[in-house]
Structure 1
Amino acid sequence: MNRRTFVKQNIAASALAGLAPVGAFAANFNENTFLNEDNFNLDYAPHLGMFRSHAGEDPIDQLNFMADQGFKAFEDNGMKGRAVALQEEMAATMTKRNIRMGVFVAHTIYWTEPNLASGNKDLQNEFLKEIRESVEVAKRVNAKWMTVVPGYVDQRLNMQYQTANVIESLRRAADILEPHGLTMVLEPLNFRDHPGLFLSESPQAYQICKAVDSPSCKILFDIYHQQIQEGNLIPNIEASWDEIAYFQVGDNPGRNEPTTGEINYKNVFKYIHSKGFDGIVGMEHGNSLQGKKGEIAVIEAYKQSDDF
């Protein structure tokens, strides 16, 4: 599953159902999973579709189900494309249920051709226009963070010039966001799922954030992507800690819930918590099993991984 699937299909968690190994806790199905309302140590954020077998298709019912399971956050890559009335209804439900809004995608992502790296002013202005539009969405749904992906590399331009072009665009975007207290989070994406993208590693994102030098430009550290791209997760999180504002997770291989792959998420979550992280950890992954059993497995996986 890649981000294009998430954005185009509103993060349809069922897309990968049954394609990955069964998680270590997937067999622990019981009705006591539900309505626990115990607080997790971290604010994990499910997405629409993750619990549709239990909650149905209605976004409001899904939000209420998430709250009933003790989740205190929610993220929605496709929020910007939803009808204004639905955005407002979802925001009201999140406020009522004490759920924080996580990231949504702030702009058009160029997957196969350069935009911000190229230095093209028309493409830069398109990006800035979409950032301005995203400010209004963020206000409407009480969001603090929005995802930015600088797009494809320009193969005809030296990497240092590309970096300078990206920094210039992000500085201008930060000028738009700062007065509203909003933050764009830059997401490095791995070379295997997204070959040819400009931003792929945490040190690169760290360098760019330092150059932009704004509280409105930080890193979205997606643990799934960085396990594939660079590994050495905890040391790299430590090295870039002061520029990280948001995390996303998914196990590898398979991009499903924790416990289904090779990442020791209990240790990673414990480390993030020990650093005093009070932001959101987005559950940007599929379910390893189909239907209600798969949804229970996701909840159980987070209970176990958060048990430290």
Structure 2
Amino acid sequence: MTHRRDFLKTALGASGLALTGLSGAQASVRATSGTLPIVGKNKFKLDYAPHFGMFENSAGKDLIDQLKYMADQGFTAIEDNGMMGREPAMQEKIGKELDRLGMKMGVFVVDKGGNGQNTLAANKKEHLDIFLNGCRRAVETAKRCNAKFMTVVPGDFERNLPIGIQTGHVIDALRRGSEILAPAGLTMVLEPLSDTPNLFLRTSDQTYEICRAVNSPACKILFDIYHMQKNEGHIIPHINWAWDEIGYFQIGDNPGRNEPTTGEINYKNIFKHIYDKAKASNRSFIFGMEHGKSIAGKDGETALIKAYVESDSFAV
């Protein structure tokens, strides 16, 4: 989990390509860059959510400027894994700007919710207390930034216990967490990961089973397509099988964990499949752009936007 957070801090972030209706600072960025080929706001079919810092070369370091820049590019959501670590005043400022721009707040990570040193599979009181305290603080953070989703990772295997016993411990802990989040209208989304085989939560079907057992609207699946391509493949069938328990999607191509079109995953087909299935079931999702860039600098930011325009160009 620590490795994953470090990667996100250094490789991910937010904003897009300077288009029409720019603020003064953004117009200056476009005038000096000379590399932004798209004119007019992109009309994405899905709620793609960049991170702060993803387009920092074009939008600058100020977080509010970055939000404005994202909106100018047609992005309708953002996610910020490190939101709980920001000052409450900044959380509120971000929430107000998102509201003004008509953007959705995606996930942030419930810090210390589960990792190698604090695993919910172990059934240790001190670990459970840390997790539940994180859920309580997440409620307050969510109020400030208008969030509805927060990422939870149960932590590592407890290798000295049978897998069924570990699973029971995780379910019990998540039920306790759901009791805190559900009254606030919040949902923790459980993320199966591929970072290390020591992680307890690895596949979408395993996560589906756990969500069914927790049996709460406050506990759903975060289906990260990058991780699931590595761990189980067969992406569209797995999405179909787990559909009723999926609450959120994240994106990253494989290999490389960069923008769509840079690896082996056919995101255009996957996006169309989710779009059609969501429309038929009257559902909507945020798609977190939890990946890096294949090209450095402003050119890489332009290439990233082009990749999303291409992948979002499916027929409806």
Q: TM-score, normalised by structure 1?
A: 0.90
User: Counterparts of 1:179-194 in structure 2 under 5 Å?
Assistant: 179-190=183-194, 193-194=195-196
CA distance in 2, matches of 1:97, 1:114: 38
**Paired residues, number:** 290
Partner of 1:135 in structure 2? Answer: 139
Which 10-residue stretch deviates more, 108-117 or 163-172?
Answer: 108-117
Shift of 1:12: 2.7
> Match for residue 218 of structure 2?
216
Q: Is the 8 A contact 2:191 2:221 kept in 1?
A: yes
1:176-213 deviation line (CA, Å, top 9, x unaligned): 111111000000001xx222000000000000000000
Q: Give a deviation string over 1:222-280, Cα, whole Å, max 9, x none.
A: 00000000000000000000000100000000000000000000000000000124120
Pairing of 1:44-193 with structure 2 (within 5 A): 44-113=48-117, 115-190=119-194, 193=195
Cα displacement (A) at 1:10: 5.7
Give the match for residue 13 of structure 1: 11
Mapped partners of 2:88, 2:267: distance in 1:
36
* Residue of structure 2 in register with 1:237 after alignment: 239
Distance (Å, rounded) in 2 between the aligned partners of 1:89 and 1:133: 18
User: Any conservation in 2 of the 1:33–1:296 contact (CA below 8 Å)?
Assistant: no
- Partner residue in 1 for 2:296: 290
Identity of aligned residues (%): 54
Counterpart of 1:274, as a letter, is D
The 5-angstrom pairing of residues 9-48 of structure 1 reads: 11-13=9-11, 31-33=36-38, 36-48=40-52
Deviation at residue 109 of structure 1 after TM alignment: 4.8
Runs ≥4 residues deviating over 4 A: none
Tell me the distance in 1 between the aligned counterparts of 2:263 and 2:6: 25
Report which stretch shifted further, 199-208 or 113-122.
Answer: 113-122
8 Å Cα contact 1:148/1:185 also seen in 2: yes
1:85-137 deviations in whole A, cap 9, x for unaligned?
Answer: 11111111111111100000013154434520001012111110110000000
1:278 and 2:284 correspond? yes
Contact 1:114 1:153 survives alignment (8 Å)? no
SS state at 1:275 partner: helix
| Aligned partners of 2:112 and 2:118 also within 8 Å | no
Show structure 1 runs of 5+ residues with no match: 16-28
The structural deviation recorded for 1:76 is 0.2
RMSD, matched Cα: 1.6
Unaligned runs of 5+ in 2: 14-33
1:218 match: secondary structure: strand
Matched, 1:301 2:307: yes
Where 2:141 maps in the other structure, the secondary structure is helix
The SS at the match of 1:155 is coil
Shift of 1:31: 2.6
Read off the aligned partner of 1:94 and give its amino acid letter: L
**What letter is aligned with 1:307?**
S
